[in-house]
Amino acid sequence: MSIDVKRFGKVAVLMGGTSAEREISLMSGGGVLAALRSQGVDVHAFDPAERELAELKREGFARCFIALHGRHGEDGTVQGALELLGIPYTGSGVMASAVAMDKVMTKRIWLHEGLPTPRYVVLGHGQHDNAHTRTVPDTLGLPLIVKPPHEGSSIGVTKVAGYSQMQGAVELAARYDAEVLCEEFIDGEEVTCPVIGDGAEARALPVVKIVAPEGAYDYQNKYFTDEVKYLVPSGLPAAEEAEIQRLVLAAFRALGCRGWGRADLMIRGSDRKPFLLEMNTSPGMTSHSLVPKSAAAAGMAYEALCVQLLALARLDGTKA
């Protein structure tokens, strides 16, 4: 299907921003900018950390490609501002963006919908002391994962192997968040699966299997080394791949997501049961990013992917 890019009008790629993932956002946005420009789109970079969003309206931008990651980009705040300005944007709307950015709220919804996600304990404000943290392994077992529930890109995440590590892990996560999420560790294979589209039209792309050095799929390995191997096709049995795609579509719809997204999962080695970890509503679009890799396996070039996502841009309650 050919898309007339002239109908998009003047397009802004929102990139940079103020979150802990600013550096990655600039990389994602740069890739999207070049791709859309190569397809004849009238596209311009726009960094909300340096310019007021109201300038989008004053300068006649007709739609936005959101390449922001983390807070004030992926959490519903920018989406709400664009709703007020009346400028259609890529990705999920205000509510779904806000909910998906909060890993605790996401888990609550998934559990309510009967979708599998690891067991967890939340340490709220005032519960970061040793008296509270040392009891968490009794509930979740060891090892376990400690993370800030509102950050991405593995920022502030620790794998805790023993009781003595708990306090330091909680203090690290608490630098980024008032709440700290402690999560059961699922020992097995890490996979991710993107979704493109809206509602009944949404479809899951091929599953990507992630093989990191010594299992360390951290910030450095995600973006700045070539040590991590991304297998797509995943090499999983066809029935397993299909089940993961089914789960991811259900997870995407349960949160009210639209446009595109990417769910991260673990497959438990002991029984091959998949567990949903999180939903990314503004996934990375860098050279290392997983949505472009999966799309390529489905026969979609990076440039075509960017154009299709831009074509899906809309406001809450409207059609693309």
CA 71, CA 18: separation in Å to the nearest integer? Answer: 7
Judge whether 284 counts as a catalytic residue: yes
Number of Cβ within a 10 Å radius of residue 93: 23
Judged by phi (left if over 0) then psi (alpha if -120 to 50, else beta), residue 72 lies in left
Judge whether 223 counts as a catalytic residue: yes
- Catalytic entry in 25, 28, 97, 153: 153
On whether the CB atoms of residues 174 and 236 are closer than 8 A, the answer is no
Total residue count of the chain as it appears in this document: 320
- Catalytic entry in 17, 19, 21, 93: 21
On whether the CB atoms of residues 70 and 21 are closer than 8 A, the answer is yes
Q: Read out DSSP for 256-308?
A: T--SEEEEEEEEETTT--EEEEEEESS---STT-HHHHHHHHTT--HHHHHHH
Judge whether 74 counts as a catalytic residue: no
Judge whether 113 counts as a catalytic residue: no
CA 71, CA 28: separation in Å to the nearest integer? Answer: 16
CA 60, CA 114: separation in Å to the nearest integer? Answer: 45
Judge whether 241 counts as a catalytic residue: no
Quote the radius of gyration of the chain (alpha carbons, Å).
19
On whether the CB atoms of residues 36 and 13 are closer than 8 A, the answer is yes
Judge whether 63 counts as a catalytic residue: no
Residues 6+ apart with CB under 8 A from 23: none
Judge whether 7 counts as a catalytic residue: no
Residue 26 C-alpha from the chain's centroid: 16
- Catalytic entry in 284, 289, 294, 314: 284
Judge whether 4 counts as a catalytic residue: no
Which token pair is 278? 């999180």
Which token pair is 273? 């049961």
Which helix (H) or strand (E) is 109 found in, with range? helix 103-112
Bridge partner list, 145: 159, 183
- Catalytic entry in 262, 289, 294, 314: 262
- Catalytic entry in 89, 120, 223, 302: 223
Please give the positions annotated as active site.
21, 153, 223, 262, 264, 278, 280, 284
